[in-house]
Amino acid sequence: MIEKQQVVEMTALSKEELSVEEVALAVLPQPRLQRLAYWVSQIGSPPVTGAASAILIAAFLATASAWQWASVYIALTILAPCIYIVWLVQTGKAVDFHLPNREQRIRPLLFSLATAIVTWLLFEQMGAPRLLQMLAVVNGVQTALFLVITLQWKISLHCTVATILSELAFALLGTSAIPFTMSIPLIAWSRVYLDRHTVSQTIAGILLGIVILTPARYYYA
């Protein structure tokens, strides 16, 4: 009799726990979570966060020259690769813009590496602002490392570029950059939720961003 009562109590508890979980899910239904993850992933995509880094530096320097160089950076390292990826998608050589298949990332990364090298050489030779030179170097190193890693594994570029933006913002703005830092776990969650990456791939992306930018910051300080 006691055992039967315990079973009944356990069953009731399980139902109660299940109902609480269902209530929690009802607050934010799955389709809404899907849309949230999608838009977080879009807003936190590498082209957006990469452009934001250049814009942040130009706004911090607050000179006409800085804005001009930032525009050149965005055109060469972001717009040109984006146009190339769109062409790959339209010609059926890539599934979608975010390149979920590891094998389909190789050609865009090679193209991005070429534009990154051109940008770095141009900035060095033409005397671009030092912070933008640093960003050009960081972009080149980041792209090269991603290319090597992608040959064997899939790592989150979203998380790497978001981390670089966050650390850069913190270095320039101090505690005012906290919202940038808070965006990193949100972007990582979106990539995992959308089944584009595993947790380990997002963590690796975050660590890679720190490893790339931290020494560059001290070298170009």
Of 23-37, 64-78, 148-162, 181-195, the one with minimum mean pLDDT is: 23-37
Tokens 């170009």: give the residue: 220
pLDDT of residue 169: 96
Contact 47, 109 (CB under 8 A): no
Q: In whole angstroms, what is the distance from residue 90 CA to residue 66 CA?
A: 35
Answer yes or no: is pLDDT of 153 > 90. yes
**Mean per-residue pLDDT of the chain:** 87
Of 21-25, 112-116, 149-153, the one with minimum mean pLDDT is: 21-25
pLDDT of residue 70: 98
174: exposed, middle or buried (Cβ count in 10 Å: 0-12, 13-18, 19+): exposed
Other CB atoms within 10 Å distance of the CB of residue 75? 12
Percentage of the chain with pLDDT > 90? 77
Contact 150, 142 (CB under 8 A): no
Strand (E) or helix (H) holding 24: helix 2-27
pLDDT of residue 162: 97
Contact 159, 187 (CB under 8 A): yes
Answer yes or no: is pLDDT of 175 > 70. yes
pLDDT, tens digit, 9 for 90 and up, residues 28-43: 556 889 999 999 999 9
3 state SS of 100: coil
User: Which tokens is 27 given?
Assistant: 């607050």
Q: In whole angstroms, what is the distance from residue 198 CA to residue 154 CA?
A: 9
Grade residue 122 by pLDDT with cuts at 50, 70 and 90: very high
Q: What is the mean pLDDT of residues 110-136?
A: 96
pLDDT, tens digit, 9 for 90 and up, residues 66-92: 999 999 999 999 999 999 999 999 999
Residue 198 gets the label, from left (phi > 0), alpha (psi -120 to 50) or beta, of beta
